[in-house]
Structure 1
């Protein structure tokens, strides 16, 4: 028993040390990081994101999701953007990302403009963080001050992407654990889930919910079934909006949908299913300003997950490959 206790204590201390290291790295980020080295970068990214969203509103959700999927895998380090190489299998083809994450061409275009402005100064990880904010704003959502100074990873992890990205099939307790493992609170979990007020999901991710779950509006289930066949393999990639009321507007209708049992994903509806997060969902469903404030704060918290700073990592010239 003493041996078990010793190992448990060491694990706790290691976990505390990891969080302290992540906090110290996050503390090195600054909203003024590029003020001298690349003063035009924020306006350049904002203009490019606005143009991309004007061309396709769904791209706003895609850019937001890229930042999330980057940060949840070994921290906000741009690793999600790396293509596979002979030495590592990247994150793009991991099950949570394969045929799902998108927007790489837009990121490439933004990075090219940034490189022309300030060669090898601004990281791909920071481009993702700023683009996510600007995408939300472009669709009517809140703004926040993005802390900058992240550097880019020189490797990526297929296995970590497969294990650490929260599945749309998770129950509430598993969702809380997945976010807690990244240093994010339950309040952050619910607020960040509100990002599903924009974007779409593939039939394969919600088929079981609309055909087999009971905590779902019958009329919503029926209407959604019309766009998602019950047979596995049929129409797996057919898309449905995560927020059927206003799929291209960043608002609080996602939470109103949860109250009305029209959450598209199992993991969405888990936030309002008789559990500890019901009250937060109820509040957001009637208080959009409160949701916006908490979402902005949660995005800053998420952007602080284990960034590479100082001399760690590199500033990639091409976001798809290491230098």
Structure 2
């Protein structure tokens, strides 16, 4: 992100628009192989349908004009004219069938390429929950895998295989600049392959109505160069930062462990091992919190912890009673998790 905006309620969409994101959320701003194929399919269908519409309009205008110039003449459907009209109708029907068949074949091959996976693909398991995203980077070596939330980093020039799982209701994973939509359905695993050809930040969104905060279930896909991605992944595998020398941060860590927070969230390297909420190990390294609702800052973290239901009504995070000193200390601790 080139610029941060401090107004907490702007949210991810407006912040990306004002903050200089590399592209906006649009299927026509294609930056990945799958998205480019879908864009070409859209252009093909729109172009063919536009030509058909123009031909129909020309034919209709021609017929109306002929009828206007000879409106008093009786309609003389002699056998040769009937046969000619029959041939015209038959040809138009045949062309319609051919066009629909062509659209079907083009759509089949385009959508088939969306889920093509290879042996060397980076594999990420995405979980859709009300209303946030769990992100788990898988690796044959279990020690090399790690967990994040609401923010996905991928290397450019490499296919990324996403395993999509819904944990509560049906969600839909959609990054229009990189690929098409794919549903996350409880009880099954769907797959989609994304690929970014150049570095940038690409906004994603749940595209299936999933409840009260469906509109506030966004995420960010950041495409890094392979070198930058490798550095980011090494940092993510590390346990949480230990700022024991800072008294306020140490006090905030104690508050976090004493309160119910540690039962819902995980912070690697600590006793917090909860799984019902997002992993917070490197929370402060993310651009946004609450699935794109708030920019990551100490003030936004304090506001979220103090009253999550006011900011995002209906979410599953309970209100944890904190004194002002405890809230200040906890916000300092959360802001240190980089």
Q: Provide TM-score, normalisation by structure 1.
A: 0.28
Answer with 1 or 2: which has the greater Rg: 2
What TM-score do you get using the length of structure 2 for normalisation? 0.27
Query: 1 or 2, which has the higher strand percentage?
Result: 2
**1 or 2 for the larger relative contact order (CA 8 Å, sep ≥6)?**
1
